[in-house]
Chain A
Amino acid sequence: MTSRIGPARIRMPAQAKPGEVFEVRTMVEHPNESGFRHDNLGRPIPRHIVTSFECTYNGREVFSAKLHPAISTNPYMTFFVKAVDSGEFVFTWKDDQGGVTTVTQAITVA
C-alpha cells in the first residue's frame, strides 16, 4: 500500500529570457514524521518521510536531493535554474513507503 504524498506546489516564473537565472520554490505536503516522536502511549511514531526529490528540465536533471528526517513537515526547498529553452519542468517526490507525487510546470523561454 503506498502512502499519501502531496499535493505539491511550485512557484517559478512562467516565462524567462534565455540565460536568465530564476528561483524555483517547491513544497510538498507530507507529515515527514521523523521517527523520534512518541504517541500517547510512549511508543515511537514510525518514521515516514520524503526521501528524495528530483527536478528535470526537458528531461535533464537540474536539481535533486536526498532528504533525511530533519527536514520539516511539508518539505520546502528552493534552488535556482538557468533558462535555456521552452518546455517542461517535472518535479518528483518519493517517500519511504512507496509514495510518489509528480508535478509539472511549463516554461516559455524567449
Chain B
Amino acid sequence: MTHARFQEGRRDFLVKSAAVSGGLMVGFHMPAFAQAAGSGPEVTHWVVIQPDDTIIVRIARSELGQGTFTGLAQLVAEELDADWSKVRSEYADVNMHIKRNKIFRDMSTGGSRGIRDSQEYVRQGGAAAREMLIAAAAQQWGVPASECKAEKSVITHPSGRKTTYGKVAAAASKLEIPKAPKLKDQKDWKIIGTSPARFDIPEKTNGKQVYAADVRLPGMLHASIVQVPVFGGKLKSYDESRVKGMRGVKKVVAGEDWVAVVADNWWRANQAVKALPVEWDVGENGNVSSESIMAFLRTGLEADNVPVARKDGDVESAFASAARIVEAEYYSGYLNHATMEPQTATALFTDDRLEVWCGTQNGEATIAAAAETAGVPLDNVYVHKMHAGGGFGRRGPHQEYTKQAVKIAQAMPGTPVRLQWSREEDMKQGRYRPVSLVKVRGALDKDGNWIAWSARQADQSIIATVRPTMIKDGVDPINTRCFVDNPYKVANFLNEYAMRQTHVPPGFWRAVAHTNNPFVRECFIDELAHAAGKDPYQFRRPFLEGKKDLGVLDAVARAIGWEKPAAKGVHRGIAVVDSYGSYTAAAVELSVEGGTVIDVRRVVVAIDPGHIVHADAVKAQVEGGIIWGLSAIMHEEITIQDGRVVQGNFTDYPVLHLAEVPPKIEAIIMPTGGFWGGVGEPPIGGVIPAINNALFSATGKRIRSMPLKNHGFSYKT
C-alpha cells in the first residue's frame, strides 16, 4: 500500500543528481509527514498506533499555515485520551482515500471549514479508537471494558493491571469500529482549547520545510511556462527552434493556451521560455481595460429588473417618507492571492501510473484533475500533499498547475518534471477576487433613526464559473453575503444583484465577499451615522440587539476605549462583520500626518468562533487577518489593460511590509460556546472598514474605493 515508489523503505533521502549540472545542488530530506503511511496498526482509519506508543493522526485537510495539521490532531487526541507528547500528524494518503471509498471524508480546505466541518467526525474517530483499545485490553484481561480507564495512552483496571495503547493496538485494530462512540463534554477537554507546540512551525522557521517548489527527485527536470496573456485566448504557434539549442533545454511542451520549456534547471527553463517566440490568438477580449470594466459594471447599477436577493418591508415608501437620504457608490477591484510560493507541481508519469507533488488545498481536486488530464484511472494516481506556501483559496478549485505538470510529464514518461510558474505568471494568471460596484442608499427619519437601506450590487460572480447551478434567479448566494445575511434589524431593506461577468477569471480570495462587501456596508453605516449626527458605535447597537455580533462589537469598543476621548490627533474607526460561522469586530486607532501618511497605531479584532481548538493558532489567524486587511486596503490592486493584467511582481503589486505593521495588533478571543465557527477568514471582515472609518474621522474625507494609495495615502514606516 506504499504510495511513493522511490520512498520505499527510506526515511531520509538525499539527492545529488548528476543531471543537475551547473545548477544549484540542494540536499533534500523527505519531510516526515510526506513519507509512506506510517507503519503500524490502524485503530480506525484516522489513527495509527505504533508499538512504542507513537500515535500518528491522519489529516485529510491541508496545512496552509492556519493550523489544521495540529488542530485536527488535537481533536482526535482529546477523544482518544492520548499522551500528546507522542502524537504526530501525517497527511491522509489521497490514493488510499479513493481506494477506500473516500474514507477520510472531505479533503478540501477552504471556507474556514477545516476544523468546524471535520470536528465531529474526527472526534468520533478518536473516541472510537479509544473504545477499541479499551475493549482489546479488557478482552486480554478477561474483565468488563466498563471497569477499565484510559488516560494519556495508558489503560488501567482497578485490579492493578496496566497496559499502553501501543501494546494493544494490534489487537484493537481487529475489532469492529463502534458506530456511536461517546464524545467528551467540553468541561472535560484537556487538549482542545490549549496551545501545544504546532507541528509545522519549527520547520517553517528554520528553513527545513519542504514546499512543492523544493521537491527534488532523481533525474528530475524543471519547467517554466507562459500562458496566453489575454484570458480566453489560445496558443496559435511557437518556434521551438529558437530555444532548442539553449543550454540545458530538453523539451518544449504545449497545451491549448500555454507553452512550457523543460530544462535541467529552472533558471534555464525560464530563460528559454522568455526567449521562445510565441504567437497567441488573444480572442475577443484584447480591448478590455479596467475602464471598460467599470463602464460595464455601471450598466448593472443602471439596469431595469435587477434580480432581488432580499426584500424586507417597503423600501420605496420608507425612502419617500424619509427626512434624510444618503447615497453612495463603492468600488472594489481585482486582487491577487499572491502566494509566496508560486503555483508549482511536480509530476512523474510511468506506464499507467502517475505521481504528483503539490501544495494543494484539496487532495481530491488534484487527484481528479491529474487522472482526467492523463486519462489514467484514479486508482493509479498518487498525490503527495505538501504544506502550501500560502493557500488563501488559490490552490484548491483551480488545478491548472497540476494539469499542466501532468501534461508535461506525460510528454516525458519516466522523468519527474517540476513545473513552477514564474512570479510574473503567478501574478498575471491568477484567479482574482472579483470586481464589484455597489450603490448603497440609506434613509433616516427626522430623529436621525435608520429606517431603511438598500444595496444594489453590480458584481462579478465566482460561483457562476465553478458551480452555475447555485445561481438561483440570477442571484449569487456567496457574493451577496454581508447584505443578504446582514445582522442589522432594519425594517426596510432591499438587496439587488446584477451579475456582470468579465473575461478575467475570478477566484476565492481569502474571505471572498467578506473583503469587499463589509467595506461597503460598514463604511456606509458610518456615513449614515454621521449624517444622523450620531456616534457610529452607538448608532449600530440597537439594530444588533440579541445578536452575537453585539458581543464582539462591544468588546472591541471597550478595548479601544471608544467611550473615552482619544489622544490628540488620534482617530478611531469601528466595524462589525460575521462570516463563516464566526462573529468578529474590529476597532482601529490611527493618525494622519501631512494629510496623507497614515500611522496605524492600534488594531483590535475580537472573534467569537464558538469553540476554539488551538488558542494560539486562533490568535495567529486574527493577527494574520489584520495584516491581510491592512495590506489590501492600502496597496493591492490588479488592473487590466489590453485585456491583460498589468501587474507582474511585488514591485507593482506590493503587499504590506514589516515596517508598516502597526505597533499594536491585538486579538480578543471570546468563544461563547455552543457552535463551531471558522477562524481562517473571519478576522479579516472588519479590518478594512474600520481603517477607512478611522480615516474619515481623521481627514473628513470619505473614501469609497480601494486601494488607498490611489487616493494619495501611504502608511508610515
Contact = CB atoms under 8 A, between A and B. Distances in A.
B501 A43 contact: no
B470 to A, nearest CB: 10
Interface in A22-68: 36-44
A108 B464 CA distance: 50
B469 A42 contact: no
A41 B468 CA distance: 14
Interface string A54-88: 00000000000000000000000000000000000
Please classify how large the interface on chain B is, using the bins under 10, 10 to 19, 20 to 34, 35 or more: 10 to 19
B349 to A, nearest CB: 25
Nearest to B306: A42
A34 B497 CA distance: 23
Interface in B391-433: none
Given A42-B464, A42-B474, A36 B469 contact: yes
B251 interface: no
A42 B465 CA distance: 11
Q: For A37, A39, A40, which residue has the most chain B Cβ atoms within 10 angstroms? A: A40
B468 A42 contact: no
Interface string B467-502: 011010010000000000000000000000111111
Contacts of B469: 36
A36 B465 CA distance: 11
Please classify how large the interface on chain A is, using the bins under 10, 10 to 19, 20 to 34, 35 or more: under 10
Contacts of B461: 38, 42
Contacts of A38: 461, 464, 468, 471, 474, 499, 501
Nearest to A42: B499
B502 to A, nearest CB: 7
A11 B385 CA distance: 41
Contacts of B303: 41
A41 B500 contact: yes
Contacts of A42: 307, 461, 464, 471, 474, 497-501
A43 B474 contact: yes
Interface in B432-477: 461, 464, 468-469, 471, 474
A44 B464 CA distance: 11
Contacts of B468: 36-38
A44 B307 CA distance: 12
Contacts of A39: 501
Contacts of B498: 41-42
20 contacts: A36-B468, A37-B464, A38-B461, A38-B464, A38-B471, A38-B474, A38-B499, A38-B501, A40-B499, A40-B500, A40-B501, A40-B502, A41-B299, A41-B300, A41-B303, A41-B500, A41-B501, A42-B464, A42-B500, A42-B501
Given A39-B501, A40-B501, A42-B498, 18 more contacts: A36-B468, A36-B469, A37-B464, A38-B461, A38-B464, A38-B468, A40-B502, A41-B299, A41-B303, A41-B498, A42-B307, A42-B461, A42-B471, A42-B499, A42-B500, A42-B501, A43-B474, A44-B474
Interface of A: 36-44
Interface of B: 299-300, 303, 307, 461, 464, 468-469, 471, 474, 497-502
